[in-house]
Amino acid sequence: MSTTPATGPQHPAPPIPLAELLASKDLGLRRIAGPAEAELLWVHTSEMADPYPYLLGGELLLSAGVLLTDPDRYVARLVEAGAAALGFGVRPVYEAVPDDLVQACDRYGLPLLEVPPETPFTTIARAVWRLMAQARHRELRRVTRAQQALATAAARPDPVPAVLHQLATQLSGRAVLLTARGEEVHAAGRRPPPEAAAALTRLARVVARERPGAPSSATDAHGDTHLAAYALGGGEGLVLALATGQRESGDHTVAGIAVVLLSLLAAPHQGADAAGRSAALVRMLLGAPPEEVAPLLGPDGPDGPTGPTGPWTVIHARRTDGSPADALTAGALGASLGTALVDAGRGGGEAVRVLLPGAPGTESDPARVTPQPGWTLGVSAPTPVTDLDAADTLAARALAHAQATRAPLTVDTPVSGLAALIPPDQAAAHARTLLAPLTAPLTDTLRCWLSLHGSWDRTAVALSVHRNTVRQRIGRCAELLNADLDDMDVRAELWFALRQG
């Protein structure tokens, strides 16, 4: 049974069957020893007598046998390193694959491919990467279809059973929602054998949140049945348990989407926390001030970690490739950040906004927010719920800075150091006086320009304007402030003032 994520190198694409590579007729590859079934994760070329230290496992190792002296030990070391197959190039070193090597591969169960002289190793490598890219594309399409199907099921009048039914269909197995005591709440799909069903119930108890220190997920196998259990967030021991046959690439991602949906949908089974947050959102929509709804947003009351005095974090996000984010994509981002509080905006150029409740040192602490593939993030400093409008502005500025510097993530840090020694009211009064001649667009441009160390191009990117517009605005700032913006002392004083806004 496994209850922790796998360590070691993570491959960016699904493995490809050896048979797919052998089916490429233009390569002329021929399997002459070892089993026909193998999965390839990498391609590596080496003429070392013992390449063991440089193998990660799952490789198709290509070699012409330049230093081959002991085929038996050579193959034994490859198998020990976890190599998936050996491709042996005929000529210029050997006129044919050595018989001793063929026998060793048969003996150790390592697939051996004969590579004809006219096929360069680089051509084989390109073919493997092409097949992997195709497999990755198929996986992404499958996950996307599953995500859409699960989201549609979640919108049905009976969402929990509908999601479980759709999940069982997508994974061709059994999906069960269990309590910590192993009682079925809902179930869908083909029942596994009784022994496997009992093993699945035991696995669910491992991750049930009623157990102190329980892991969030666990996997196991019973014969040919693959078992997995996932604790549902925010609840009191509800577990999603899965029993499937042949595992396919993308299954874990599909299950993760279902976990997020079921965590939200099963809230009525999991106490008043989710209901309280729903009530808070309704009250805010009806015009209630943040001070009134804040106690409903946190499980520990008005002074708890997510009450009015507790910190919240605002995140602004845009797709790195510039494409708009739909609701499903934005929801997936929120799920990966650990929250369902996501505003996908109205499309177009609007940023996705995410709200993370929590306390310092938790996963919702800005210091714990990590870059997300395909996204550029701007993160505010922790703030009370009553100051979320200011945090929203700070997150927007952080996102603009991240885009301008092409960084995956920028966190807006609170005032610290020498600036923190000045009383806030005095600092704010000084800032208002110093910056009074500037209009809002000029102030925003000056702040961005200074934060990017006076870079015209990066400021233009951050503000989505032409670089000449930036030059004109900064020149106008210098005139209105009657200041030399090339002077470091002037820049430092202006930056201090701008940080108070």
Region 311-338: what's the mean pLDDT?
A: 76
Range from 82-96, 115-129, 275-289, 437-451 carrying the lowest mean pLDDT: 275-289
Which pLDDT does position 300 carry in this prediction?
Answer: 41
* pLDDT tens per residue across span 375-426: 889 888 888 776 777 788 888 888 888 887 788 888 876 655 555 455 556 6
Own/partner long-range contacts of 174-177 (Cβ < 8 Å, ≥24 apart): 174/200, 174/242, 174/243, 174/244, 175/240, 175/241, 175/242, 175/258, 176/200, 176/204, 176/240, 176/241, 176/242, 176/243, 177/238, 177/239, 177/240, 177/241, 177/262, 177/266
Range from 184-193, 280-289, 354-363 carrying the lowest mean pLDDT: 280-289
Which pLDDT does position 106 carry in this prediction?
Answer: 93
DSSP 8-class letter at 110: -
The class level of CATH for 418-499 reads mainly alpha
Which pLDDT does position 333 carry in this prediction?
Answer: 77
What band does 4 get if pLDDT is binned at 50, 70 and 90?
Answer: very low
* Cα–Cα distance for residue pair 5/217, rounded to 1 Å: 9
* Cα–Cα distance for residue pair 430/407, rounded to 1 Å: 32
Main-chain phi, psi angles of 220, to 5 degrees = -160, 175
Region 82-98: what's the mean pLDDT?
A: 92
Do 97 and 114 meet the contact criterion of CB atoms below 8 Å apart? yes
Q: What is the pTM of this model?
A: 0.44
Per-residue tokens: 442: 């000029």
Which pLDDT does position 306 carry in this prediction?
Answer: 42
Would you kindly state where each structural domain of the chain is located, as residue ranges? 16-129, 155-270, 311-413, 418-499
pLDDT at 64 over 90: yes
Find which of 164-168, 184-188, 291-295 is predicted with most confidence, using mean pLDDT: 164-168
- DSSP reduced 3-state for 355: strand
The class level of CATH for 16-129 reads alpha beta
Which pLDDT does position 209 carry in this prediction?
Answer: 59
Which pLDDT does position 18 carry in this prediction?
Answer: 92
Q: For the chain, what is the mean pLDDT?
A: 79
Identify which of 315, 323, 373 has the alpha carbon closest to the alpha carbon of residue 342.
315
Please give the CATH topology (third level) of the domain spanning 155-270: Beta-Lactamase (3.30.450)
Identify which of 313, 477, 459 has the alpha carbon closest to the alpha carbon of residue 381.
313
* Cα–Cα distance for residue pair 201/198, rounded to 1 Å: 5
Which pLDDT does position 414 carry in this prediction?
Answer: 61
